C-alpha cells in the first residue's frame, strides 16, 4: 500500500470515527446500521462538512463506532466516478445513503429508489429531479438545499467594494459543471448593471487552472471571482497559492478557502447545513421516511475575511466590509 494512501486513511480515521475504507477494517457489531457516505470532494475538502455532520448525528443519539458505522466514498473531484461509487454502496446494502453535494445526490437517486437518501445539494432539488417538491419530497430522498450558485452577484458586489479600481475582474468557472453557463450569464448580467468588465475563464483540471492564471496575468486582471464547483474545492490550496504568488485578490465560494489562506468568501453557512443533514440522517435511522421530511432551505449566510491575507496583498479592508463580515480571521 502506498504511503499517501496510508496517510489518507489516518486522516479519515481522525475526522470520521469508525470508517470503512473501502472495505471493513474491523468487524462491526451485528445489526449495527451502516451509513454510506458519498462525496464528490476529497477527504480533505470534506473535513469541515463531515465534522458538522457527525455533530448532527450525535444530537440524535448516534456515534460512529458505538452504534453506527460509516462507509466512505470520495471521488476527489472526478465526477464520472460518482455513479460507480454510489452503486458500490448500494450493493453493500447500507442502511441510509448520505450524498453531500449536487452530483453525489444525483448519482445516489439514480442508483436506488429503495435505500433512504439524505442529501446536501447546492442547486434546486426539484429542478434536479431529486424530490417532487420541497414540502413533500415524495420518494426515498430528502435533505438540505444550500444556496451557492445564486450568490455570484452578491460576491461580485463585495469584491468590487474591496477592489474598486479593478478594471477587469476574472470569473473562473468549471465548464464541466451543468450550471457553468448559467453562472456566467448571471454574473455578466450583474456586471453590466454595475458597469464592471468581466473576463470569463474556464478551468476543469489543473492544466486549465494554470492556463487561466496565465491569461489573468497577461490581461492584468485586478481581481478574481470563482464560480461554484466541487472541483475548485478539491484544488483549494492550489488556487490560494496562485492568487498569493501573483498578488491578486480573490473571492471564493466557501469559508474553508479563507481559513486556508484565501482572502474572502460568501456562502450559505455550511456548518449549519451539514449539521442538519446529520440530524435528518439520524431521524431516518430511527424510522422516519424521507418522503415525510421536507427539504430544508439553508437561510444562514456567512461573509468571511482573512485580514492576514489582505495585509500580505497590501489591501486595506474598509470599515464597511469589516462591519458586514460574520468572521474576521486575523
- Regarding whether 128 and 21 lie in a shared domain, the answer is yes
- Regarding whether 128 and 77 lie in a shared domain, the answer is yes
43-72 average pLDDT score: 94
Q: How confident is the model at residue 10 (pLDDT cuts 50, 70, 90)?
A: very low
- Report the relative pairing of strands 141-145 and 296-297 from DSSP bridges: parallel
- Regarding whether 72 and 7 lie in a shared domain, the answer is yes
Chain segment 199-231, per-residue pLDDT in tens: 999 999 999 999 999 999 999 999 999 998 889
- Regarding whether 157 and 115 lie in a shared domain, the answer is no
- Regarding whether 133 and 157 lie in a shared domain, the answer is no
- Regarding whether 25 and 59 lie in a shared domain, the answer is yes
Res 116: pLDDT? 98
Q: Residue 16 is part of which domain span?
A: 3-147+269-301
Res 31: pLDDT? 77
112-128 average pLDDT score: 91
Res 176: pLDDT? 86
Q: What is the mean pLDDT of the chain?
A: 89
Find out whether 301 and 327 touch, Cβ atoms under 8 Å: no
Q: Please tell me the pTM assigned to this model.
A: 0.82
DSSP conformation letters of 179-241 = THHHHHHHHHHHHHHHT-EEEEEE-SSHHHHHHHHHHHHHTT-SEEEEPP-HHHHHTHHHHHH
DSSP conformation letters of 37-99 = EEESS-HHHHHHHHHHHHHHHHHTT--BTTTBEEEEEE-TT-GGGHHHHHHHHHHTT-SEEEE
Res 3: pLDDT? 34
Res 261: pLDDT? 96
- Regarding whether 30 and 138 lie in a shared domain, the answer is yes
Find out whether 302 and 52 touch, Cβ atoms under 8 Å: no
- Percent of the chain with pLDDT strictly greater than 90: 78
Res 29: pLDDT? 61
Evaluate whether residue 259 is within a structural domain. no
Find out whether 212 and 172 touch, Cβ atoms under 8 Å: yes
Res 123: pLDDT? 80
Q: Is the predicted pLDDT of residue 256 greater than 50, yes or no?
A: yes
Q: Which helix (DSSP H) or strand (DSSP E) does residue 252 occupy?
A: strand 250-252
Evaluate whether residue 327 is within a structural domain. no
Q: What is the CATH number of the domain that holds 208?
A: 3.40.50.2300
SS3 132: coil
Res 222: pLDDT? 96
CA distance 305 to 298: 21
Q: Is the predicted pLDDT of residue 313 greater than 60, yes or no?
A: yes
Q: Which helix (DSSP H) or strand (DSSP E) does residue 109 occupy?
A: helix 102-111
Evaluate whether residue 56 is within a structural domain. yes
Q: For 21-30, 100-109, 292-301, which range has the lowest pLDDT when averaged over its residues?
A: 21-30
Q: Is the predicted pLDDT of residue 145 greater than 70, yes or no?
A: yes
Q: For 24-38, 86-100, 275-289, 308-322, which range has the lowest pLDDT when averaged over its residues?
A: 24-38
CA distance 297 to 284: 18
CA distance 28 to 323: 50
- Residue 67 in grid coordinates: 452504534
Evaluate whether residue 33 is within a structural domain. yes
- Regarding whether 41 and 120 lie in a shared domain, the answer is yes
Evaluate whether residue 273 is within a structural domain. yes
Evaluate whether residue 55 is within a structural domain. yes
Res 299: pLDDT? 82
- Regarding whether 153 and 106 lie in a shared domain, the answer is no
- Regarding whether 79 and 138 lie in a shared domain, the answer is yes
- Regarding whether 276 and 134 lie in a shared domain, the answer is yes
- Regarding whether 97 and 192 lie in a shared domain, the answer is no
Contacts of 142 (CB under 8 A, 6+ apart): 117, 118, 119, 131, 280, 290, 291, 293, 294, 295
Res 12: pLDDT? 47
Evaluate whether residue 315 is within a structural domain. no
Res 28: pLDDT? 53
Query: What is the total count of domains within the chain?
Result: 2
Amino acid at each position: 500500500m502506498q504511503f499517501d494512501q496510508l496517510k489518507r486513511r489516518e486522516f479519515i480515521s481522525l475526522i470520521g470515527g469508525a470508517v470503512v475504507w473501502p472495505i471493513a477494517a474491523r468487524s462491526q457489531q451485528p445489526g449495527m446500521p451502516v451509513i454510506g457516505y458519498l462525496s464528490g470532494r476529497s477527504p480533505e475538502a470534506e473535513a469541515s462538512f463531515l465534522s458538522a455532520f457527525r455533530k448532527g448525528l450525535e444530537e440524535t443519539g448516534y456515534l460512529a463506532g458505538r452504534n453506527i458505522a460509516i462507509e466512505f466514498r470520495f471521488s476527489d473531484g472526478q465526477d464520472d466516478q460518482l455513479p460507480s461509487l454510489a452503486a458500490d454502496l448500494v450493493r453493500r446494502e447500507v442502511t441510509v445513503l448520505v450524498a453531500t453535494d449536487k452530483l453525489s445526490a444525483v448519482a445516489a437517486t439514480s442508483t436506488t429508489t429503495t435505500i433512504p437518501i439524505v442529501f446536501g445539494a447546492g442547486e434546486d432539488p426539484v429542478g434536479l429531479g431529486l424530490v417532487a417538491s420541497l414540502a413533500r419530497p415524495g420518494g426515498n430522498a430528502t435533505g438540505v438545499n444550500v444556496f451557492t450558485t445564486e450568490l455570484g452577484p452578491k460576491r461580485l458586489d463585495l469584491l468590487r467594494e474591496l477592489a474598486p479600481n479593478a478594471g477587469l475582474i476574472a470569473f473562473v468557472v468549471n465548464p464541466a459543471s451543468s450550471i457553468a453557463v448559467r453562472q456566467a450569464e448571471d454574473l455578466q448580467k450583474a456586471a453590466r448593471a454595475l458597469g464592471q468588465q468581466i473576463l470569463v475563464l474556464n478551468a476543469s483540471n489543473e492544466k486549465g487552472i494554470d492556463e487561466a492564471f496565465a491569461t489573468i496575468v497577461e490581461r492584468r486582471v485586478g481581481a478574481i471571482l470563482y464560480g461554484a464547483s466541487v472541483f475548485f474545492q478539491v484544488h483549494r490550496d492550489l488556487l490560494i497559492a496562485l492568487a498569493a504568488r501573483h498578488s491578486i485578490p480573490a473571492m471564493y465560494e466557501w469559508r474553508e478557502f479563507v481559513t486556508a489562506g484565501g482572502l474572502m468568501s460568501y456562502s450559505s453557512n455550511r456548518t449549519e447545513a451539514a449539521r442538519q443533514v446529520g440530524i435528518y440522517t439520524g431521524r431516518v435511522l430511527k424510522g422516519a421516511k424521507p418522503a415525510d421530511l421536507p427539504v430544508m432551505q439553508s437561510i444562514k449566510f456567512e461573509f468571511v475575511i482573512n485580514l492576514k491575507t489582505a495585509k500580505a496583498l497590501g489591501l486595506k479592508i474598509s470599515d464597511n466590509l469589516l462591519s458586514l463580515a460574520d468572521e474576521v480571521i486575523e
